[in-house]
């Protein structure tokens, strides 16, 4: 080796040392962030639920379960979860079968429209349907004008609010189930079904005995997400006014958490419920992971629909889309209505509420805050997500499987739990949300969407041969130089898609925003909408206009993301 080469080597080892220090330092920081902002808050809640000044106690649980109001809220939330999941499932099975098995004109458009409800933060929908279903709302007026009823029906009476919440949850969450199921069905090699077909097995039997057993894990994975989401969603029951549910009770207890420790017990019940559901899913499906044999020539398995079937397909799809869009349409009409009194539709229309957004403080601050917070959290997600996915797929640290499990927890961990944990853990510290919630909001947004980013990046990394990185290492590149130059460009599409999703969901985050942002100046979009909704006068209309803006941003992000990811999108929403 010549001296010139020796110096080059020395320099390159120094560079490698620096780059490795930065790289592994970031990994260490990632683990620290996960510890302080995921593990610790949950641990604090659990410890406070079981420990009083006198040591271990079950007193808070006794108080919780002795209180009928509390127990009924637990049951109500569980029932909301079950009802939402069952209805989503019934709705998604035909939708996903149509999507994977049949070809028909307008398929792309209708499939796209089916996903639109994802952009609707369900609580914004709640504002819309109140306008439509109120005692003097459009529906009642329409029915009275036509002479079908004499007196207005109280659609949103106390007894109906449960179903109003369920309906809104279903309309928001069925796309997740549908995406999961479509991905699972698309994954079943059509030749497996064809093998049964050539044996003369009838169609219903093929579905029952071959296709569904193979797709069941997908159905179940979707159900889990939908159930937990519906169980712990705060915004919808809050705006519908269904106060007898767990998330609303927790929301009301946050402010005096330290005086009323029953709140800890209630949050612990939520944690326990979600953990049990996840464990049961692992036990049921953890071992039955069927490997599809190496695919030879893959036939698409998609058939052209005949006229009779076409009518059925269109009526299912168009019907679903029409119902799913009712809240959106109602929010839209509310946002542009001028003079809307005792008529089915407004008598005049206006854009003044959209103008008000930019003229008054609260709505504009809300948009600005949410944009900045979401950008920050998405940036954090990109860094953390790529690093975690890289470390896990390349097994760089011991216990990388554990790390993988850790970052997936937020998928099951309700936002209210995390937000509640942050408040109790960081009150009276330099991160006190009462003082300035910005750091905690960014971290909360980031941690809750980290699973999407990790999934998305992992998918890309798994398709990238490790030898591409080894080749780079042979030339003297450090691992993190290789990460920048070779790995990142190759998984860029996955990173962008994951980033868009993270951004979109951060923009419309409800539980963290409602709980952590306590002063006007820090209100994100959703809390601004909530605050406006509670205001008298034009608040409701400005809230709707603001909701529309939020939906537009979210639509753009989700369309972009699904264009990049294509069919793989469904896999992001798996437990």
Give me the residues that bind another protein (CB under 8 A), please.
Answer: 1, 5, 8-9, 11-13, 16, 465, 467-468, 470-478, 481, 485-486, 489-490
Beta carbon of residue 45, minimum distance to another protein (angstroms, whole number):
42
Beta carbon of residue 403, minimum distance to another protein (angstroms, whole number):
23
Closest to another protein by CB, 276 or 468: 468
CB neighbour class for 524 (10 Å; exposed up to 12, middle 13-18, buried from 19): buried
Closest to another protein by CB, 484 or 519: 484
Closest to another protein by CB, 344 or 473: 473
Closest to another protein by CB, 341 or 475: 475
**DSSP strand E in 275-364: where?**
303-304, 337-338, 348-349
DSSP letters spanning 364-375: HHHHHHHHHHHH
3-state secondary structure of 52: strand
Residue 534 CA to residue 543 CA, distance in Å, equals 9
Non-local (6+) Cβ contacts of 575 within 8 A are 221, 224, 225, 278, 281, 408, 411, 412
Beta carbon of residue 487, minimum distance to another protein (angstroms, whole number):
10
Beta carbon of residue 486, minimum distance to another protein (angstroms, whole number):
6
Closest to another protein by CB, 9 or 338: 9
The 10 Å Cβ neighbour count of residue 135 is 12
Closest to another protein by CB, 275 or 468: 468
In Å, how far from its chain's centre is CA 436? 25
Beta carbon of residue 495, minimum distance to another protein (angstroms, whole number):
14
Using an 8 Å Cβ cutoff, are 380 and 499 in contact? no
Q: What angle do CA 174, 176, 178 make, to 5 degrees?
A: 70
Beta carbon of residue 465, minimum distance to another protein (angstroms, whole number):
6
Beta carbon of residue 468, minimum distance to another protein (angstroms, whole number):
5
CB neighbour class for 518 (10 Å; exposed up to 12, middle 13-18, buried from 19): middle
Closest to another protein by CB, 13 or 303: 13
Residue 453 CA to residue 572 CA, distance in Å, equals 9
Nearest to 571 by CA among 457, 487, 491, 466: 457
């Amino acid at each position: 080796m010549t001296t010139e080469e020796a110096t080059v080597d020395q320099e390159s080892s120094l560079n490698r040392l620096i780059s490795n220090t930065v790289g592994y330092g970031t990994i260490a920081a990632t683990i620290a962030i996960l510890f302080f902002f995921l593990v610790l808050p949950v641990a604090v809640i659990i410890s406070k639920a079981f420990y009083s000044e006198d040591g271990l106690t079950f007193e808070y649980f006794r108080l919780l379960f002795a209180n009928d109001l509390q127990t009924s809220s637990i049951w109500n939330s569980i029932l909301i979860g079950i009802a939402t999941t069952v209805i989503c499932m019934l709705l998604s099975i035909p939708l996903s079968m149509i999507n994977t098995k049949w070809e028909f004109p307008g398929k792309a458009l209708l499939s796209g429209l089916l996903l639109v409800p994802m952009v609707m933060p369900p609580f914004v929908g709640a504002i819309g349907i109140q306008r439509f279903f109120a005692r003097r709302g459009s529906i009642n007026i329409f029915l009275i004008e036509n002479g079908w009823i004499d007196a207005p029906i109280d659609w949103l009476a106390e007894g109906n609010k449960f179903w109003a919440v369920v309906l809104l949850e279903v309309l928001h969450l069925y796309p997740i189930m549908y995406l999961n199921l479509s991905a699972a069905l698309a994954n079943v090699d059509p030749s497996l079904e064809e093998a049964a077909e050539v044996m003369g097995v009838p169609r219903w039997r093929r579905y029952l005995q071959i296709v569904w057993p193979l797709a069941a894990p997908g159905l179940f994975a979707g159900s889990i997400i939908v159930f937990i989401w519906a169980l712990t969603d705060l915004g919808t029951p809050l705006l519908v006014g269904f106060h007898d549910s767990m998330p609303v009770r927790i929301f009301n207890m946050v402010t005096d958490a330290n005086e009323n420790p029953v709140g800890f017990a209630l949050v612990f019940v939520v944690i326990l419920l979600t953990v049990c559901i996840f464990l049961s899913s692992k036990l049921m499906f953890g071992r039955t992971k069927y490997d599809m044999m190496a695919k030879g020539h893959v036939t698409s398995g998609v058939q052209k629909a005949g006229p009779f079937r076409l009518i059925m397909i269109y009526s299912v799809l168009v019907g679903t889309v029409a119902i799913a869009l009712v809240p959106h349409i109602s929010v839209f009409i509310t946002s542009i209505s001028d003079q809307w009194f005792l008529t089915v539709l407004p008598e005049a229309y206006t854009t003044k509420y959209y103008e008000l957004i930019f003229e008054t403080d609260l709505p504009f601050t809300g948009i600005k805050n949410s944009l900045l917070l979401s950008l920050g959290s998405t940036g954090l997600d990109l860094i953390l997500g790529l690093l975690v996915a890289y470390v896990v797929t390349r097994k760089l640290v011991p216990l990388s499987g554990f790390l993988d499990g850790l970052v997936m927890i937020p998928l099951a961990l309700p936002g209210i739990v995390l937000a509640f944990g942050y408040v109790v853990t960081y009150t009276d510290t330099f991160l006190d949300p009462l003082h300035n919630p910005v750091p905690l909001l960014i971290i909360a947004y980031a941690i809750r969407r980290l699973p999407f980013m990790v999934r998305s990046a992992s998918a890309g990394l798994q398709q990238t041969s490790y030898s591409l990185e080894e080749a780079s290492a042979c030339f003297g590149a450090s691992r993190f130089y290789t990460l920048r130059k070779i790995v990142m460009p190759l998984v860029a599409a996955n990173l962008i898609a994951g980033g868009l999703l993270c951004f979109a969901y951060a923009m419309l985050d409800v539980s963290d925003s409602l709980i952590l942002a306590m002063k006007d100046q820090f209100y994100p979009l959703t809390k601004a909408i909530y605050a406006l909704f509670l205001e008298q006068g034009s608040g409701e209309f400005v809230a709707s206009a603001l909701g529309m803006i939020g939906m537009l941003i979210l639509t753009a992000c989700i369309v972009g993301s699904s264009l990049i990811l294509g069919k793989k999108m469904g896999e992001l929403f798996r437990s």
